[in-house]
A and B are shown apart, each in its own frame.
Chain A
């Protein structure tokens, strides 16, 4: 094994181009487990923790460009207002020790259907900035996941950053597990209200081969809110509409039975989380809290 330690981004891209089989390592919270248990013996480890650019974020009017190597702890501390859904999701990852090291770039790189950042990114609206010596491209997060633990990166590409839409309304994240800390999601759900575009977006985790949006549910609720003038009136939602939204979210799942839960349980739990998180976000919207969604 060789340990490659690029000091900057260009050097990292050059190393990945020269050694396409090199395994990038950021926080190491996925990679080191695989190495410790002999599930993986890469020829090259490509350490990205010296690449200072990856650990930075910058906010513009409409988006936050989150460096792939910003650890969860800093997202929780620094980006709660701009990215409330992602901050809530980050807070449920592992433990303080894991959050101090683990990154969204690593979550995307692992591309687990249970990755907690994914539903929050789907609901907020995000594009993954990937680069190689050949150039840079932006991949909508919906298209990033191509299968169970598979993603759209070419062998010579690295994730540079994620461009995430800044919250323009309340967002929520909810996750089912056996305890608060240190659980891989049985299933997870994120919702974001976007009053500026008068749309609602969702993200479902751990209930299909990849993280997915519940498109039909989003369209149904978007239309119901628009037609009923709810965005302007801020009136309470019709219980029947909330129920339908929850059903459509559950319907968007393609879950399996596994050690963490059955498919039927997952479908049901996603419906329950959809109903609750919609209730919380709509309440926050009505109270004019705008971007600062309450904690669950």
Chain B
């Protein structure tokens, strides 16, 4: 079947999509957007997290056909998305810069999903408590960092965004 969707502000059309295929597969294998990672394919790890009509979801658990006509934001579009929100010109979204500056990236496999989830948290709640951060990221597993640097990064991004306003 054919599936149409808007990804990171651009219209896409995918052909010959198998009906049981996931949105994650379509993004990675058909639309050339491999930023969202495929690790577990069962909703456990969050490395495939994207925004579907604004809502963070595991792309591995969305049937491609369910995304027909929807707006998807992946890590590839996160910087643009953040720029539109803030009106500021920066090459990276504040969470992306903060992950780099805090040393929150090791192997990087979990990073795209964490960035999408963390960015959505800060959009909703610009001044999150530690409990808010833990809860928002509780569906994203990282096997390298031990999470402390990730929490640091989200706090840093929140602080910087707060200063900029």
Contact B63 A97 (CB under 8 A): no
| Chain A residue at smallest Cβ distance from B1 | A3
Contact status of A28 and B66, CB under 8 A, knowing A36-B41, A36-B42, A182-B139: yes
Contact status of A33 and B43, CB under 8 A, knowing A5-B65, A96-B117: yes
| Chain A residue at smallest Cβ distance from B55 | A100
Contact A97 B136 (CB under 8 A): no
* Max chain B C-beta neighbours (<10 A), residue from A33, A37, A97, A98: A97
Contact A98 B20 (CB under 8 A): no
Contact status of A182 and B138, CB under 8 A, knowing A97-B117, A98-B43: yes
Contact A25 B63 (CB under 8 A): yes
Binary flags per residue of B31-49, CB closer than 8 Å to A gives 1, else 0: 0000000000111101001
Q: Once bound together, how far apart are the Cα atoms of A178 and B58, in whole Å?
A: 22
Contact B43 A1 (CB under 8 A): no
Contact B42 A47 (CB under 8 A): no
Contact B139 A94 (CB under 8 A): yes
Q: Once bound together, how far apart are the Cα atoms of A47 and B70, in whole Å?
A: 14
* Max chain B C-beta neighbours (<10 A), residue from A27, A31, A95: A95
Interface footprint category on B: 20 to 34
Contact A95 B139 (CB under 8 A): yes
Tell me if B112 is interfacial: C-beta within 8 Å of chain A.
no
Tell me if B19 is interfacial: C-beta within 8 Å of chain A.
yes
Tell me if B22 is interfacial: C-beta within 8 Å of chain A.
yes
Q: Once bound together, how far apart are the Cα atoms of A227 and B90, in whole Å?
A: 70
- Tell me which residues from 113 to 165 in chain B have a Cβ below 8 Å from any Cβ of chain A: 117, 135-136, 138-140
Contact status of A36 and B60, CB under 8 A, knowing A49-B66, A95-B139: yes
Q: Which B residues are CB-close (under 8 A) to A100?
A: 55-57
Measured CB to CB, the closest approach of chain A to B66, in angstroms, equals 5
Q: Which A residues are CB-close (under 8 A) to B57?
A: 97, 100-101
Contact B66 A47 (CB under 8 A): yes
Q: Once bound together, how far apart are the Cα atoms of A37 and B42, in whole Å?
A: 8
* Max chain A C-beta neighbours (<10 A), residue from B20, B22, B42, B135: B20
Tell me if B101 is interfacial: C-beta within 8 Å of chain A.
no
Q: Once bound together, how far apart are the Cα atoms of A3 and B117, in whole Å?
A: 29
| Chain A residue at smallest Cβ distance from B51 | A100
Q: Once bound together, how far apart are the Cα atoms of A38 and B117, in whole Å?
A: 28
A-B contact pairs, 21 of them (CB 8 A): A1-B18, A3-B1, A3-B65, A5-B65, A25-B63, A28-B61, A28-B63, A29-B61, A32-B63, A33-B42, A33-B43, A36-B22, A36-B41, A47-B63, A95-B46, A96-B136, A97-B57, A98-B61, A100-B56, A101-B57, A181-B135
A interface residues, Cβ below 8 angstroms from B: 1-3, 5, 25, 27-29, 31-33, 35-37, 41-42, 45, 47, 49, 94-98, 100-101, 180-182
